[in-house]
Structure 1
Amino acid sequence: MATGPAAHAAPAQAPDWTVEQVAGGGHRITLRLDDPLPVRDAVPELAVDGRSLGPAQESADGRTLTLTTGDPRAAAPRSVQVAWNGEVPGTTPRSAAKAVPAPQPPTGRNVPVDPGTRGPYEIERTTYDLGDTAIELAGLGGRKAEIRAEAYLPKTSGKRPLVLFLHGRHSACFNPTTWTTSNSQWPCPTGQQPIDSFKGYDGPAEALASHGYAVVSVSANGVNAADNPYSEDRGALARGEVVMRHLDLLAAAARGQGPLPVALKNRIDMDDIGLMGHSRGGEGVVKAALMNDGRDRPYGIRAVLPLAPTDFARATLPNTPMAVILPYCDGDVSNQQGQHFYDDTRYADAKDTAFRSSLMMMGVNHNFFNTEWTPGVAHAPANDDWFNNADPVCGNTAPSRLSAAEQYATGTAYIAGFFRLVQGGESKLLPLFDGSGGTAASAGRTVVHAVAQSPVRDRVDVATFTSLPPSVRIEGAATGAVCAGMLDRSPQSGLPSCATTLTTSQAPSWTPATYAPNVPSTPVLRFSWTDETGQVRATVPAGSKNLGRYDALTFRTALDETAPSADLAVTVTDTKGGSQTVRVSEVGDALTRFPGTASPLPKTWLRTVRIPTSSLTGVNLRSVRDVRISGAGGPGAVYLADLAFSDAEAGRADLAELPHVSVESRTVAEGDGPGTAAVTVRLSRRAKEAVTVHLQSIASGAAPVIGQVAAEVVVPAGASSATFTVPLQGNTTVAPAAQSYQIVASSPEGALIGSGFARLTVTDDDVA
């Protein structure tokens, strides 16, 4: 722990940290470390007096962290420490030990097809390797990386659907003699050899290949060794480039061209592709799908699965079937920020053609989906990322914690199951992902909670709860308000914060994103009541009252963190007054709090309530008037989202309908006093309908923190550009260097992210 004297007029300084004042009233904190930071997928942060102030810039050797901030606590710190996901390791207050209920077995019914079992085809494997420096990556400033992969092919003729795997951030190299790792040089230093992270997914690869899929797992060690500090986005663009380069090579190989093995000729269908990315690889495959859509002749990417993913910039991916897997015992990306992929995409396109799902897997950690990241089976150093083995829920002796083998089997079943569902059209696997409670036999005792959203054509949204229109009313002894984000990070939205007593590691939907820390996230309705008269009444949209064809009434809910317990009554009423009421506790456990005794557990995560329409026998579903959600029993409070009647359908991939939104870099002179700079936000083509996108500016180096702002920008229908205004603080003092701001686009609606990162450079215009 770094400690030191408080700062006053002069910069604060301790043996290992300093605080300097910068223009605009902010401060720059620098922390020096005795040892390099561990290689993690999460981004390091700096904490002052035990509270994180946000992501820090890491030096190339991993021994120095720097943060420029306008937070007033930075002016006079008593301590400066490394934090991860909002928490300082070992210092988070831990509550007294509480009784943790014994783990319950899965309560659903096994689907009739077990995706974790082998299929009828024998498998042939081949490795292709074009060398450590085969590709030059713009996302790493032109640095080079390897082209290397393991291919798994079914022994059968004809073109097969392709599934490509991309691993996440792990040490790139290790010394087999000293059993030490390194991650700052590529190719590996003398005496060291690459860690073959790409070979850690044999289970799902072989499960898929044996059922007729071609699977290619690619290496990204060169990206891992250089994404800090040589990328603008922690390597997302570079990882997307790696995926696209492999697809180009595989397309050529399928035609019998290029340097890849001849065994790939006529074996791959480039119009039927699935992508799985683990950790930072999850963000990488989302980026690849967006890059692919921007091409004149895109490949047919049909499904994307981010596994324990990072989501640093909150891109959206509508119109592509997606499943996000969140490990409850993730000790690396412990804030489970990948939930933003699901939440941000829900209403990003009014004509969305795709199904999406998010899965909370209980008892599993970050690393053990990959055998090369699992102690005891890895060929290089590996570890259990969960940090507290005494924890009664996720510690390695806790009854609810799965063994490495159990976790790997579960990952195999759900990874293979998703691609077989979407690419293979095996609808019997849908209950694993649609929230209806299906289970896979090979997943054993693993409890998986699933939430899902059907394509637009297969649902009627009664109330999204992202706002309170006239069709939604709060009645009786109740209050209701839409909240978004947390920690009062988004005052410009006009919405109060959700999760007011949680840490950022306990609130996946609202945790601030690294490159969009002030952008509002996941608006939901916070509904509280004092007696049973309190209710939310949502009128069914005109023209959509005939709901008899839909499978279920669904919504998402979670206990407010301040409520010890609660139940809800859901009443569906038809236009003649017929009604039927169902209690949430009768159809599922969405309002049962997740287990845990202290941060980062328990998580507050909105779960699915699914009421089959076949059970609503007292209502004329051909003429539904409204849906009421009321408090059942004593006082309570919950979060509500996504009330809809829907059919469970996997939908289809169809990205090409939307324009791409990009930010343009700009250089301006500082001026002699307060001013502004206009940054252009441009669409790839004119918008048929209005496009909204959130812009964030982030000060770096000695830039005044006055420029660190966030705003929603609207590109009107028929237009192709708009501007984002950044405040500047000019002066008449000669400065040694230009000021620099990152400008980041995130969470668009009506468009996709194209080039979402840019630089605003503010030059000094004073003469010495």
Structure 2
Amino acid sequence: MRLIDGALVLALIGAGSTALPSEAATGPSWSSIPVAGGYQVTLHLDQPLHGRDALPELAVNGVPVGAANESPDGRTLTTFTTNSHAARPLSVQLAWNGRVSGSSTGQQPSATLPPAQPVTADPTTTGPYAVQRADYDFGDTAITLPGLNNKAVENRAAVWVPVGAPGRRPVVILLHGRHDSCFQPNTTNSTDDVWPCPAGWSVIPSNLGFAQSAEKLATDGFVVVSISANGVNAFDNSDSEDAGALAHGQLVLRHLDLLAAANVGTAPGLSPLLKGRLDLTNIGLMGHSRGGEGVVKADLLNAALPHPYGIRSVLLIAPVDYSRQTVPGVPMAVVLPYCDGDVSDLRGQHFYDDTRYADQSDHVLRASVLVMGANHNFFNTEWTPGLSPAPAFDDWDAEVDPADPTCGSAQPTTTRLTAAQQNDVGTAYATGFFRMTMAGESAFLPMFANPDGSVVSVGAATVVQENQSPQRIDISALTAPSNSVTIPAGATYCASMSGLSPQSGLPSCTDSPDNSRFPAFTPQRYAQNVTAAPMLHLPTAGTVVASLGNHDISGYRDLTVRAALDSGPAALTLTVTDGAGRQQSLAAQSLTPFPGSGTILPKTWLRTLSWPVSQLRAVNIRDISRVSLSASAGVLLSDLAVQTPAVGAGGPSTLPQLSISGTTVDPGSGTATVTVTLSRPSRLPVIANIQTVAGAGTQLTPGARVVVIPAGQTTASVGLPVTDNGSTADTTYLVVLSDPTNAIVGGSTFAHVVVRG
């Protein structure tokens, strides 16, 4: 049996199929071999890949053709593709995020953002409590994880405990991302291909890379637990089907179980400092990179428990999001680094976009913030050159272009933060978020939702914001045609990029092959064709008119919309009409380009624009009938609302859980039926996406399908067309549940369809 899970075409240039050549094509370190329905492309590397959070891809003739499966030793990459370049290859190269490794970025001068408004509240000041450590370590092979093919990994964490803080204390769990796990002292050698570390090698303690945040939070009364996940990192690409997301989630829950035992004094080997001190009804989760997707999975798995832990907030720093899951029910913030050289497509933006309307009954803050000048690695000091005893590197300079004028660290025009500055801004966002969401300190809300402007300064960093408040009226999401919204001639609702989501019925928002420039639309490995971020596209100047039906907006602070430039600077003017026909226009808000040029920069990223309701003095704000939004040039628009910044209160999601089951069929069956099941009936229709992960022209064609489980029912079946391509081997395909509405997906994200040979 062979498993095909790498045929995700990340750029559709030249993607048509051709007659298969009868012989394999080979080069010095690569091959392209005809197989049933396509080509198996293989690249052999001189050295193993170092641990990084993005997934490797292969490019043929300079065109990325698919995400690659990595061999256990990290030296061989393989993908299956139908891309026509694989028929007559001249080269096979390593690629990341839809871009050939080492290809040039741009060399144009940087643009300038509007002036940033300082956030005056500082969450990094030292609190009133001294701090003690209560670390625990049960060894490198203490536990096994089902999501990692039952590989044995470490059970280890660093723990910071406030001294003298009364009663049970809120608990924050920190989970690092994917990095090399072991290094050879006094050399530049490091690896993530083996666990435990071999003799003569030392562990890279990535979980200690958030020590500054942990220490600051502990002085404010939080117990902070930073989990080691090196074993998961060593095996996630070779021994998991989801790049380690499920294993990371299971690891977090294992540590919560251990902390629960320590809290009642039944966990030998844990410090007595923890007994009776942990408030496990008030837990916050923070994850960096693959750790971000991991804590999301932990939150979803936790919600399915008979007696879930009290997870109240989730913070995601430079996260990956390979299967497009949602995070409803808890306050959530995504922190994205503009100069990310590892996860350069900022794919974690999907967590914000996909969760906005996933549960209409939750009332919590969601925010996404773009930190200008930050890279991927420097949020973790153990990944930062000069701060870590192990080999470390600047991911933008090493993986993209040190000469880039916007993000190259040594360029005179660079926007980059220093390592110390980035560590400080990471600490500010971690401490500010958890003090705001878990301790009720609303002074830090402007870090995530500043009502006086979406460009703020936090420490040395300029930060751009988008947000959704729990206190709001949604005028229009601007995601699909509506009888209450009139759009100008030439404007269209759009979604995704490069024709990847034909099932949506919407045109692409961009036909650019540059995934990294469009975080909202970038395709995901296990949700390649799932509709991404539908929104309204005005290609030129025009006016959008939304009818409210006579609403009272007097109890809200701002009228807001998310907006991004289509091309060139633009100004947006808001006009409000009341029930008596009186009108008032508010001052235009300016949109200016983000800095940079090339295949990664500048980013097209929606920011929140706000107009204060208090300025509407010429109309009756208790009787508003219409809101008009006029753009002076082409823009992308979403989420027209009236809202007041707030945090809200969250907890484990109470939505029903979705699962998916696969099947085994003969090649001539014509259809493979997969079944989606709810844990209990929902009072609302449940909508989800099923992604077939396969190669076009093979037995199962890649694509996404929308499945709807009607209100009051618990199952729905979807038929996937099967084509007999003459293969004589059993072939296993992945099908993936993704981007649900009115339900969540916990442990059963994947299923298998086996087509017999």
Q: TM-score, normalising length from structure 2?
A: 0.93
Structure 1 residues 70-99: Cα deviation after superposition (integer angstroms, max 9, x where no partner)? 33333233322111001012234x44x323
Aligned counterpart for 2:690 among listed residues 676, 688, 695? 695
Q: For 2:249, what is the secondary structure of its paired residue?
A: helix
Q: For 1:353, what is the secondary structure of its paired residue?
A: coil
The equivalences for 1:414-433 within 5 A come to 414-433=429-448
Question: Are 1:512 and 2:523 matched, yes or no?
Answer: yes
Q: For 2:553, what is the secondary structure of its paired residue?
A: coil
Q: For 1:228, what is the secondary structure of its paired residue?
A: helix
**Contact 1:409 1:442 survives alignment (8 Å):** no
Question: Cα 1:467–1:107, aligned 2, differ >3 Å: closer, same or farther?
Answer: same
Structure 1 residues 720-748: Cα deviation after superposition (integer angstroms, max 9, x where no partner)? 111122221236x572x310101111100
Mapped to 1, the partners of 2:453 and 2:306 lie a distance apart of: 40
Structure 1 residues 396-451: Cα deviation after superposition (integer angstroms, max 9, x where no partner)? 12442110000101110111000000001111111111143589999422101111
Structure 1 residues 319-350: Cα deviation after superposition (integer angstroms, max 9, x where no partner)? 11000000001100000000000000011112
Give the superposition deviation at 1:502.
5.8
Aligned counterpart for 2:377 among listed residues 367, 376, 379? 367
Find the counterpart in structure 2 of residue 625 from structure 1.
Answer: 625
Q: For 2:139, what is the secondary structure of its paired residue?
A: strand
Find the counterpart in structure 2 of residue 548 from structure 1.
Answer: 554
Give the superposition deviation at 1:677.
0.4
**Contact 1:676 1:728 survives alignment (8 Å):** yes
Question: Cα 1:536–1:238, aligned 2, differ >3 Å: closer, same or farther?
Answer: same
Q: For 1:233, what is the secondary structure of its paired residue?
A: coil
The equivalences for 1:449-598 within 5 A come to 449-455=464-470, 458-475=471-488, 478-501=489-512, 503-530=514-541, 534-540=542-548, 542=549, 545-560=551-566, 563-585=567-589, 589=590, 591-598=591-598
Find the counterpart in structure 1 of residue 649 from structure 2.
Answer: 652
Mapped to 2, the partners of 1:374 and 1:253 lie a distance apart of: 33
Question: Are 1:161 and 2:165 matched, yes or no?
Answer: no
Find the counterpart in structure 2 of residue 126 from structure 1.
Answer: 134
Question: Cα 1:629–1:705, aligned 2, differ >3 Å: closer, same or farther?
Answer: farther
Aligned counterpart for 1:751 among listed residues 728, 743, 747? 743
Find the counterpart in structure 2 of residue 137 from structure 1.
Answer: 145
Question: Are 1:376 and 2:391 matched, yes or no?
Answer: no
Mapped to 1, the partners of 2:20 and 2:658 lie a distance apart of: 43
**Contact 1:410 1:442 survives alignment (8 Å):** no
Mapped to 1, the partners of 2:456 and 2:475 lie a distance apart of: 35
Question: Cα 1:727–1:22, aligned 2, differ >3 Å: closer, same or farther?
Answer: farther
Give the superposition deviation at 1:26.
2.5
Q: For 1:479, what is the secondary structure of its paired residue?
A: coil
Find the counterpart in structure 1 of residue 322 from structure 2.
Answer: 312
Find the counterpart in structure 1 of residue 705 from structure 2.
Answer: 711
Find the counterpart in structure 2 of residue 217 from structure 1.
Answer: 226
Aligned counterpart for 1:676 among listed residues 655, 671, 680? 671
The equivalences for 1:16-95 within 5 A come to 16-23=29-36, 25-92=37-104, 94-95=105-106
Find the counterpart in structure 2 of residue 3 from structure 1.
Answer: none
**Contact 1:339 1:358 survives alignment (8 Å):** yes
Mapped to 2, the partners of 1:103 and 1:431 lie a distance apart of: 18
Question: Cα 1:583–1:70, aligned 2, differ >3 Å: closer, same or farther?
Answer: farther
Q: For 2:157, what is the secondary structure of its paired residue?
A: strand
Give the superposition deviation at 1:649.
1.2
Mapped to 2, the partners of 1:192 and 1:665 lie a distance apart of: 43
Q: Which amino acid aligns with 1:558?
A: A
**Contact 2:570 2:634 survives alignment (8 Å):** yes
Give the superposition deviation at 1:29.
1.6
Q: For 1:292, what is the secondary structure of its paired residue?
A: helix
Sequence identity (%): 48
Mapped to 1, the partners of 2:455 and 2:257 lie a distance apart of: 35
Question: Cα 1:513–1:230, aligned 2, differ >3 Å: closer, same or farther?
Answer: same
Q: Which amino acid aligns with 2:617?
A: T
Q: Which amino acid aligns with 1:677?
A: A
Mapped to 1, the partners of 2:351 and 2:264 lie a distance apart of: 34
Question: Cα 1:510–1:494, aligned 2, differ >3 Å: closer, same or farther?
Answer: same
Structure 1 residues 484-505: Cα deviation after superposition (integer angstroms, max 9, x where no partner)? 1101111121111112336101
Give the superposition deviation at 1:662.
1.0
Mapped to 2, the partners of 1:102 and 1:584 lie a distance apart of: 18
The equivalences for 1:328-347 within 5 A come to 328-347=338-357
Give the superposition deviation at 1:654.
3.7
Q: Which amino acid aligns with 1:348?
A: A
Give the superposition deviation at 1:583.
4.0
Structure with greater contact order relative to length (CA < 8 Å, sep ≥ 6)? 2
Q: For 1:117, what is the secondary structure of its paired residue?
A: coil
Mapped to 2, the partners of 1:734 and 1:339 lie a distance apart of: 39
Mapped to 1, the partners of 2:727 and 2:538 lie a distance apart of: 54
Give the superposition deviation at 1:9.
3.5
**Contact 2:109 2:406 survives alignment (8 Å):** no
**Contact 1:740 1:761 survives alignment (8 Å):** yes
Q: Which amino acid aligns with 1:363?
A: G
Question: Cα 1:76–1:491, aligned 2, differ >3 Å: closer, same or farther?
Answer: farther
**Contact 1:278 1:307 survives alignment (8 Å):** yes
Structure 1 residues 207-226: Cα deviation after superposition (integer angstroms, max 9, x where no partner)? 11111111110100000011
Find the counterpart in structure 2 of residue 613 from structure 1.
Answer: 613
Question: Cα 1:292–1:522, aligned 2, differ >3 Å: closer, same or farther?
Answer: same
Mapped to 2, the partners of 1:353 and 1:738 lie a distance apart of: 48
Q: Which amino acid aligns with 1:711?
A: R
**Contact 1:368 1:404 survives alignment (8 Å):** yes
Question: Cα 1:324–1:656, aligned 2, differ >3 Å: closer, same or farther?
Answer: closer
Find the counterpart in structure 1 of residue 16 from structure 2.
Answer: none
Q: CA RMSD in A?
A: 2.0
Mapped to 1, the partners of 2:313 and 2:506 lie a distance apart of: 34
**Contact 2:730 2:754 survives alignment (8 Å):** yes
Q: Which amino acid aligns with 2:606?
A: L
**Contact 2:699 2:723 survives alignment (8 Å):** no
Tell me the number of residue pairs that the alignment of Structure 1 and Structure 2 aligns.
731
**Contact 2:527 2:736 survives alignment (8 Å):** yes
Mapped to 2, the partners of 1:575 and 1:261 lie a distance apart of: 65
Q: For 1:657, what is the secondary structure of its paired residue?
A: coil
**Contact 2:50 2:192 survives alignment (8 Å):** no
Question: Cα 1:528–1:382, aligned 2, differ >3 Å: closer, same or farther?
Answer: same
Q: Which amino acid aligns with 2:683?
A: K
Q: TM-score, normalising length from structure 1?
A: 0.92
**Contact 1:368 1:407 survives alignment (8 Å):** yes
Find the counterpart in structure 2 of residue 110 from structure 1.
Answer: 119
**Contact 1:665 1:759 survives alignment (8 Å):** yes
Q: For structure 1, which runs of at least 5 residues remain unmatched after alignment?
A: 1-5
Structure 1 residues 169-225: Cα deviation after superposition (integer angstroms, max 9, x where no partner)? 001111114341121111111111211000111111111111111111010000001
Aligned counterpart for 1:448 among listed residues 460, 463, 471? 463
Find the counterpart in structure 2 of residue 235 from structure 1.
Answer: 244
Q: For structure 2, which runs of at least 5 residues remain unmatched after alignment?
A: 1-18
Question: Cα 1:699–1:648, aligned 2, differ >3 Å: closer, same or farther?
Answer: same
Structure 1 residues 576-616: Cα deviation after superposition (integer angstroms, max 9, x where no partner)? 1222212443xxx5x11100022211100001101111122
Question: Cα 1:141–1:255, aligned 2, differ >3 Å: closer, same or farther?
Answer: same
Question: Cα 1:101–1:464, aligned 2, differ >3 Å: closer, same or farther?
Answer: closer
Find the counterpart in structure 1 of residue 12 from structure 2.
Answer: none
Question: Are 1:741 and 2:751 matched, yes or no?
Answer: no
Q: For 2:426, what is the secondary structure of its paired residue?
A: helix
Mapped to 1, the partners of 2:277 and 2:457 lie a distance apart of: 29
Structure 1 residues 369-417: Cα deviation after superposition (integer angstroms, max 9, x where no partner)? 1111111010211111113221111111244211000010111011100
Question: Cα 1:656–1:505, aligned 2, differ >3 Å: closer, same or farther?
Answer: closer
Q: For 1:461, what is the secondary structure of its paired residue?
A: strand
Q: For 2:134, what is the secondary structure of its paired residue?
A: strand
The equivalences for 1:393-412 within 5 A come to 393-398=406-411, 399-412=414-427
Mapped to 1, the partners of 2:457 and 2:135 lie a distance apart of: 28
Give the superposition deviation at 1:7.
7.2
Q: For 2:594, what is the secondary structure of its paired residue?
A: coil
The equivalences for 1:282-361 within 5 A come to 282-361=292-371
Give the superposition deviation at 1:47.
1.3
Give the superposition deviation at 1:102.
6.7
